[in-house]
Every structure is written in C-alpha cells, then in structure tokens.
Amino acid sequence: MFWLVNDEILAFPFDGKYPEGTAKSGDTYNHRKLWEHIRPNGAEKAFDYYPRGRVEVDRKGRAVIYSSVHISTEYFPEIAEIFELDEYTVRYDHSEHYRCVYDGL
C-alpha cells in the first residue's frame, strides 16, 4: 500500500513488518488499519485524506498499481522501485475506495 503525503510517496510493501495493517487477504487488508500503525510525522489527517493506492502481483508475477486519480504518472517509477517491480500496469481507480480530499474540490 502507499500514499502521497506532502508530495512524497509513503510506501509499505507486504513484508510482514506491519502485520496489524497488511495481509494478502482478509480483514486487515486495508489502508485504514495500516494507517493506524504507521501514521507518519506531518500526516495529521485521516488515512483517506491523502491520495493512495496499492500494488498487487498475481501468481504469474504480473504487477498492477491501483491508484487514486490524484497521483500523477511522475510518481510511478518511484513506486515501482520501492516495490521492486520491473514491469507494471497502472490502473487509476475511480471508485469510492480511493477517494480523497481532492475529489471534493
């Protein structure tokens, strides 16, 4: 999972470091629970205030970056590097799941 906070990508690949907020499936696979454990300095708002997204890799190794429409393409190479992706597809998600403060403007 990742957020764009104050023009910086805050990314948390699934590596077991934050078991309370990340999992490959189940009740803890969401931004809200992870945010409760990692809330960074300077990020004073709720988890859904900031643009956010996630990376999913299927069993064949194909990576998809699901993202808020408010994260510009300039950030995807950095996200790919953090998540160690050689190739990826970007899917802007217009659903309520990725809405943030900028959707109301």
SS (H, E, C) 9-41: EEECCCCCCCCCCCCCCCCCCCHHHHHHHHCCC
Task: Report the domain count for the chain.
Answer: 1
Looking at residue 77, its amino acid is P
What pLDDT is stored for residue 20 in this prediction?
47
For the chain, 105 residues long, the average pLDDT of each consecutive 10-residue run is 92 64 52 78 82 91 94 96 94 89 81
Which residues on adjacent β-strands are paired with residue 54? Answer: 66
HSE value, Cβ hemisphere, 13 Å, CA-based, for 66: 14
What range does the domain containing 11 cover?
2-104
Q: pTM surpassing 0.85?
A: no
